[in-house]
Chains A and B, each alone.
Chain A
Amino acid sequence: MLISRLELKNWLNFRNVDVRLRERVFVVGPNASGKSNLLDALRFLRDIARPEGGGLQRAVKARGGITKLRCLSARRDPEVRISVELAESADAAPVWRYTLGFKSEGKGLQRVMVSKETVEDLSKGQVLLDRPDTELDGADRERLTETSLEQVNANKDFRAIAQFFSTLTYLHLVPQLLKYSEIVGAARLDGDPFGQSFLEHIANTPDRTRDSRLKKIEAALRVCVPNMRDLKFSRDGATGRPHLEAMYEHWRPDAGWQREEQFSDGTLRLLGIMWSLLDGDSLLLLEEPELSLNENIVRRIPPLIWDLQRKAKHRRQVFITTHSEAMLSDKSIDPREVLRLESTADGTRVLGVTEKELALVEAGYSVAEVVLSKVKPSGVEQLLLLL
């Protein structure tokens, strides 16, 4: 399943968004335009739907409360709203629509209250949930502090949606946190966004699955790190800690084994990205996968994603935030896969592709040339003069 349409109202720096999405979604825009915030709308749904420690109140609190969440350029309307349509594929008709609206209680405890929650089964044309309803929510206002999405006994008829959101992965792997995990310590954020538990995660994967994934990764990695062979999982004999090892070919054969601490930052990031592409079956959100990678490798990220999406058991929809011209210069990127963020005085706008852009790409331009040349902040050169 994938998200084929996303609507936002008053979410962080977005006052109003309505966009169609495909299997790969490249999110581009200047710094602070809201790329991470866009992904956060989806992480927010995960935080609500998650079986352990989920829930609306906690998800809002983790983001500093509704006053931080609600768009600063919102007008009178106090409601924050997220709505998604889910489909089996990008070109198929959507099967589900889930909408969640919430606002501040406005008095007393200043809790967040559900102002709207609906679930529609679009294939059958049925409304499965429509809150607030007069019968239950009307009788007990307390109920509005929780979504039905987060409750196992209330989401029975649309468990698939809850499951889809709760298994979403957000990855912004920081190689240093992985390499120095013993020094950094055990502090982890919910959902392990920085990949600190990456090795434990690999360790907990059944042997056969793990080995087959590592084989696929090694093959794909060969293009980028040609002298690396025999990527494998191991445990330290003394401490039992999980490790990744690989042979580096051009060294003396007996000295060639290296562990993840010795892998380069770029190798580790690629490993993390590829593993998560093969893992799981829900959304994958990748933050700036180009970091610490050579431009020639970055150029290969879009085909790599495509490739692994097909090799994986379940094809995951992938969201990618990026600043990289090299990545978007890949001619196989369909302009409909790109969301361009543009800051305005009235909040950030999310622009899908225009007819003109489609025609320009058809004429032979790459998405980088057509879209990124608009994203570039103007006057950067002059900015330097203010220093």
Chain B
Amino acid sequence: MDVMLVAEDELSMAVMRRLLSASGRGFRIYAAIVAGGVDAIRRGIPVYRNACHVLPHVVLVDLDRTACAPTLLKTWGLEVRPVSLMFRVVVRTVEAWLIADAAGLAAELLVAQVKVKVPAHPEDLEHPKRELVNLARRSRSRRLAAEIAPAPGSRANVGPKYNARLCDFVLNRWDPFRAAARAPSLAKAMHRLDGFMR
């Protein structure tokens, strides 16, 4: 079945692609829209509402600072929506879902798992991205650290190859099933994907 994917950024889109293939449902991506920020997604809602009758839509958005997913759905007027519009909220940002596969991420970033306390409940993290970047800083590979974390003194949030590295990890080595055990919002998203348009 063809589906339309909508996500905030490249990394979220990579996560969605991975989840779609992990679902084993044979979804085909008709088009993948990287909206460029949460505001763009919110503005797009009327469009997704219409367009999901042409093509099933899967939209992924970060909860970020909003209190909880139901609040977000309510303020966005999404409590009731067409069955062909799947709208999933990540608690709190997609990096939490990456951190939730602790073993996979530790191997990827070349950090000794014992040295790092990977949080048991990554969804409780207030700044998952910062956490992930800090984790990369402890990598045995200085190059990897420099690619993912911003240079000392830089005012940027991430390093130059943050997206490239992490998208590659997500698509090829991240284990969503292992991650789902520690990230309830991910488990729920996978469950919904399992039943989507059946």
Contact = CB atoms under 8 A, between A and B. Distances in A.
Contacts of A385: 161, 164-165, 168
A359 B54 contact: yes
A373 B33 contact: yes
B55 interface: yes
A362 B53 CA distance: 11
A369 to B, nearest CB: 5
Contacts of A384: 161, 164
A381 B163 contact: yes
A363 B51 contact: yes
Nearest to B163: A381
B31 A381 contact: no
A122 interface: no
B47 interface: yes
B167 A382 contact: yes
Nearest to A355: B54
A306 interface: no
Contacts of B168: 381-382, 385
A370 B163 contact: no
A323 to B, nearest CB: 16
A382 B47 contact: no
Nearest to B10: A381
Contacts of B55: 356, 360
A263 interface: no
Contacts of B26: none
Contacts of A369: 31, 33
Given A360-B55, A364-B50, A381 B167 contact: yes
A365 interface: yes
Contacts of A374: 31
Given A382-B167, A384-B161, A370 B31 contact: yes
B195 interface: no
Interface in B101-122: none
Interface in B155-171: 161, 163-165, 167-168, 171
Interface string B29-43: 011111000000000
Interface residues of B, number: 22
Interface in B133-172: 161, 163-165, 167-168, 171
Interface string A348-375: 0000000010011011110001100110
B46 interface: yes
Contacts of B164: 381-382, 384-385
Contacts of B10: 381
A186 B47 CA distance: 53
B102 to A, nearest CB: 23
A363 B4 CA distance: 13
A97 B168 CA distance: 51
Interface in B172-188: none
B164 to A, nearest CB: 4
**Residue picked from B31, B34, B53, B164, most chain A C-beta under 10 Å:** B31
Given A374-B31, A381-B10, A360 B54 contact: yes
Contact of B31 (A359, A363, A364, A373): A373
A376 B13 CA distance: 13
B2 to A, nearest CB: 8
Contacts of B171: 382
Contacts of B14: 381
Contacts of A356: 30, 54-55
Nearest to A358: B54
Nearest to A325: B36
Interface string A100-128: 00000000000000000000000000000
Given A356-B54, A369-B33, A373-B33, A363 B47 contact: yes
Interface of B: 4, 10, 14, 30-34, 46-47, 50-51, 53-55, 161, 163-165, 167-168, 171
26 contacts: A356-B30, A356-B54, A360-B55, A363-B47, A363-B50, A363-B51, A363-B53, A364-B46, A364-B50, A364-B51, A365-B47, A365-B51, A369-B31, A369-B33, A370-B31, A373-B33, A373-B34, A374-B31, A381-B10, A381-B14, A381-B164, A381-B168, A382-B164, A382-B171, A384-B161, A385-B168
